[in-house]
């Protein structure tokens, strides 16, 4: 009888990377840029064909070794992509990602890459990015014209174009590109009619992103399939823009820094997520911000609202919401606000419109100007927060300053079930865990998952229970601002000098030395 191996883990430990099945090796290669995954073909005969079966190709120009002149780097890049696509087996491709410092004499070459990815490799996701950092980019160079018609020969579902032009077929409105479900245009010149024709030609489009694109003056987004819309244009001097959105299935809309003179929203009964973000400039941004925010009148079923706090302006403006306007269905509000009297007055005005709000998330705004002066009657008016259904408050980038809002909430009898504080991480190498306060009874709270050295509650609680917290950087409670705490309960803590043993296993339960060997094939940026 052959002797049995008394240590079965020894056999596993002695395995090397070549003993792994091809499927695992290919999965490992998916985490590498194509430049590095191709290099693994030099490891051994087993590795030689594996890179060509990876379901994604990522040709990132900025990862290629730079030469003294950018044109030499570009030539090396072009030759590498050519060889890689010629050598690539005809395995279906999920993602084709290309970033390149484009030059006009490479136009036919880039065209051939796009055709190969779409028609031969049947890529489902196509990302083309021709924006390179300004220190190596000549602004006078022409941009690449993407031939949209080539998508007829493929099955692309997701299309993203950055810093290029768009060449559309002459009869685009009569064509159908049924596979396309996601389109993102970033720094792409678009005319009003081109947007209309694209929406007509993509009957199954669900997501549309238009970022920093010149061309549209009277933008009409009309689609029976669109579910998510993201718009960001920026301010264009002496140009009046209008917006019409008519998408009966639209669930989410995000509008950032768009200077629309007129906004119209139709058939918005399905809209549940509404996100508005503008630079905090009183003179230049309030008018377009208010034009967008008033679209809420046409969206009666919004449940999630993300907006900055300019609501005090509605108190002094003639162009405001009707008195009957209420956000009956709003459950979650993300509000970018400070804690000044100016902010509190606006916050109270908004919360008055949200009687069924359950979760309030407060974020610190980036204010480019000082607060506007308020009328004397508003300055002296007591701030009252009406939130009968509020259960949870979350403070992002918490530094203790926001406690004034918490105090007002508690003083006015708001009954919260949970408070979450996300600590400001400026200067921190590692993310700090959140502070989570769960109500137990009355003013008794249980705090879990926090680092005591970062906590400042400033007397908002009477009874504190610490559970599963990190006390490896201990601090006295008296120094943390818990002035009104009557009792403290501590359970299941990690103390300084202690170690916590976990049974977490990684990729297919491989031993650590084998995983370390795998990481040697990654650039340090990726392995970290």
DSSP state of 22: H
**pTM attached to this predicted model:** 0.78
pLDDT number for residue 473: 36
In a domain, 81, yes or no: no
DSSP 291-356: HHHGGGGG-TT--EEEEES-THHHHH-SS---TT---TT--EEEEE--SSHHHHHHHHHHHTT-TT
In a domain, 503, yes or no: no
Last residue of a domain, one of 441, 463, 485: 463
51 vs 47: CA distance, rounded Å: 8
In a domain, 63, yes or no: no
DSSP 419-483: EEEEE--TT-SSPPPPEEEEEEETTEEEEES-BGGG----S--SEEEEES-EESS---GGGTT-T
221 vs 192: CA distance, rounded Å: 10
In a domain, 450, yes or no: yes
In a domain, 317, yes or no: yes
pLDDT number for residue 398: 58
Residue 481, token pair as written in the block: 């601002």
Dihedral in degrees, nearest 10, Cα atoms 122, 124, 129, 130:
30
Number of folded domains that form the chain = 2
Q: What is the 3-state secondary structure (H, E, C) of 31-50?
A: CCCHHHHHHHHHCCCCCCCH
In a domain, 399, yes or no: yes
DSSP 227-296: -EEEEEEE--TT--EEEEEE-TT--EEEEEEE-EEEEEEES-TT--EEEEE--B-HHHHHHHHHHHHGGG
pLDDT number for residue 171: 82
Q: Comparing C-alpha atoms, which of 356, 364, 362 is closest to residue 386?
A: 356
Last residue of a domain, one of 418, 443, 463: 463
Last residue of a domain, one of 424, 442, 463: 463
In a domain, 167, yes or no: no
Ordered per-residue pLDDT tens for the chain, 528 residues: 555 555 555 555 556 777 888 888 888 888 888 888 888 888 888 888 888 889 999 999 988 888 878 788 889 999 999 999 998 888 889 999 999 988 888 999 999 999 999 999 999 999 999 986 545 445 566 789 999 999 998 999 999 999 999 988 888 878 899 999 999 999 998 989 999 999 999 999 999 999 988 888 899 999 999 999 999 976 565 567 889 999 999 999 999 988 888 899 999 999 999 999 887 665 667 788 888 898 999 999 999 999 988 887 777 777 778 888 899 999 999 998 887 788 888 888 899 899 999 998 888 876 666 666 667 777 777 788 877 888 888 877 655 555 667 777 777 767 777 777 666 555 555 666 676 767 665 555 565 554 443 344 444 444 444 343 333 333 333 333 333 333 333 333 333 343 333 343 445 556 676 667 667 766 676 665
What H or E segment, with its residue span, contains residue 408? helix 403-411
131 vs 99: CA distance, rounded Å: 7
Q: Report whether 436 contacts 447 (CB < 8 A).
A: yes
CB atoms within 10 A of CB 93: 21
In a domain, 144, yes or no: no
The residue segments making up the domain with residue 33 are 20-54
Distances (CA, A) of 251 to 254, 274, 299: 11, 9, 10
């Amino acid at each position: 009888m052959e002797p049995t191996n008394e240590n079965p883990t020894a056999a596993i430990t002695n395995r090397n990377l070549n003993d792994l099945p091809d499927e695992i090796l290919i999965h490992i290669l998916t985490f590498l840029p194509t430049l590095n995954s191709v290099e693994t073909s030099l490891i051994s005969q087993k590795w030689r064909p594996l890179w060509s079966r990876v379901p994604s190709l990522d040709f990132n120009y900025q990862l290629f070794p730079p030469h003294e002149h950018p044109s030499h780097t570009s030539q090396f890049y072009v030759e590498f992509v050519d060889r890689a696509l010629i050598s690539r087996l005809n395995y279906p491709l999920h993602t084709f990602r290309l970033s390149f410092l484009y030059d006009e004499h490479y136009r036919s070459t880039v065209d051939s890459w796009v055709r190969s990815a779409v028609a031969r490799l049947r890529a489902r996701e196509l990302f083309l990015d021709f924006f390179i950092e300004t220190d190596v980019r000549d602004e006078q160079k022409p941009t690449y014209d993407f031939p949209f018609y080539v998508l007829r020969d493929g099955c692309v579902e997701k299309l993203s174009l950055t810093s290029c032009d768009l060449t559309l077929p002459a009869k685009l409105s009569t064509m159908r590109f049924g596979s396309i479900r996601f389109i993102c245009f970033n720094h792409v010149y678009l005319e009003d009619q081109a947007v209309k024709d694209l929406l007509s030609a993509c009957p199954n489009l669900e997501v549309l992103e238009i970022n920093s694109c010149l061309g549209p003056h009277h933008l009409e987004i009309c689609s029976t399939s669109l579910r998510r819309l993201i718009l960001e244009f920026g301010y264009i001097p002496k140009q009046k823009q209008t917006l019409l959105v008519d998408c009966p299935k639209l669930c989410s809309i995000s509008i950032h820094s768009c200077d629309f003179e007129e906004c119209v929203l139709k058939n918005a009964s399905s809209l549940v997520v509404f996100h508005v973000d503008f630079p905090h400039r009183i003179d230049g941004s309030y008018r377009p911000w208010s034009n967008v925010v008033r679209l809420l009148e046409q969206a009666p079923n919004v449940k999630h609202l993300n907006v900055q706090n300019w609501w005090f302006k509605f108190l002094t403006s003639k162009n405001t919401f009707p008195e009957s306007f209420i956000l009956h269905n709003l459950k979650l509000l993300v509000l970018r606000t400070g804690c000044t009297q100016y902010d509190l007055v606006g916050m109270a005005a908004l919360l008055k419109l949200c009687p069924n709000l359950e979760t309030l998330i407060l974020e610190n705004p980036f204010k480019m100007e000082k607060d506007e002066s308020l009328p004397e009657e508003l300055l002296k008016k007591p701030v009252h927060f009406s939130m009968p259904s509020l259960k949870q408050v979350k403070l992002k980038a918490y530094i203790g300053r926001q406690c004034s809002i918490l105090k007002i909430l508690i003083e006015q009898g708001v009954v919260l079930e949970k408070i979450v504080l996300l600590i400001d991480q400026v200067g921190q190498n590692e993310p700090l865990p959140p502070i989570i306060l769960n109500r137990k009874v009355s003013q008794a709270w249980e705090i879990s998952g926090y680092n005591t050295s970062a906590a400042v509650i400033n007397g908002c609680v009477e009874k504190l229970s610490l559970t599963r917290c990190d006390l490896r950087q201990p601090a006295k409670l008296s120094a943390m601002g818990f002035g009104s705490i009557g009792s403290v309960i501590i359970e299941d803590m990690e103390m300084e000098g202690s170690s916590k043993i976990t049974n977490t296993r990684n990729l297919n339960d491989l031993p650590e030395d084998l995983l370390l060997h795998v990481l040697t094939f990654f650039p340090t940026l990726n392995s970290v």
